[in-house]
Copies of this chain bind each other. A is one copy, B any other.
Amino acid sequence: MTPTRGAAEPMQERARRTRRAILLAAAEAFAENGYLATTTSDIAARAGVTKGALVFHFPAKAGVAVAIVEECYEQWPTVVADARLRHERMTEVIGEVLHRVAMQIREDPIVRATVRLQAERALIGEPVRTPHVAWTAAMTELFQAAERRGELRSGADPAVLGRVVVASFHGVQHVSGSLSGHADVGERVAEWWAVFRAGFEAGPETESETGSETESEAESEAE
């Protein structure tokens, strides 16, 4: 955001930065106020650009919304690949991905806006990516890998787990957003994940590396 190259800066680069400023400003506005209540004048003012510059990049408000959602989705494959590099156990990979997405929902205006815009997609004049579908496919793949490695308990179906994890995660982040503006989304996702993984994981309940504590030991503690 620090324009150092002035007039010598290539047009293309300046245009790219303006487009980025518009997307970020619009994302903040959409995340806060929703699609309908945000006007193109709001977006231009927040981005510090003229209406003309805004229209040059995005002829209509719907185009801004679509571009935000696409930009959001472009980052997810990297998040997943990254988590796969760092963990051997697929359950840990899935847990880390969910945690990172939760943090992005709290911190990143592009992600916050995307969640809201997808919920409001019926109000947007252009087609916006249907939520949950790509995530369900990605999660199902991770659960299939978990199954191949023997991490799932008997009878657990990766496709079911893919649907269930995406839907439950959505609810957990949504309720956190609704009740705390996502301030507690990290804790809420962590407490949900601990219960959820105990429901599908073979072997030790939540600690992955260490414990070989058996279920029957856990049982007798409960008495």
Contact = CB atoms under 8 A, between A and B. Distances in A.
A101 to B, nearest CB: 13
A95 to B, nearest CB: 14
Total identical chains: 2
Contacts of A223: 150, 154, 202
Interface stretch (A22-30, A39-47, A74-82, A191-199): A191-199
Nearest to A218: B154
B154 A195 contact: no
A70 interface: no
A1 interface: no
A11 interface: no
A179 B222 contact: no
Given A167-B175, A175-B170, A153 B219 contact: yes
Interface residues of A, number: 49
Interface in A174-189: 174-176, 178-179, 188
B179 A172 contact: no
A161 interface: yes
Contact of A198 (B132, B176, B200): B200
A106 to B, nearest CB: 15
Nearest to A122: B34
B174 A174 contact: yes
Contacts of A178: 130-132
A195 B172 CA distance: 16
A175 B170 CA distance: 8
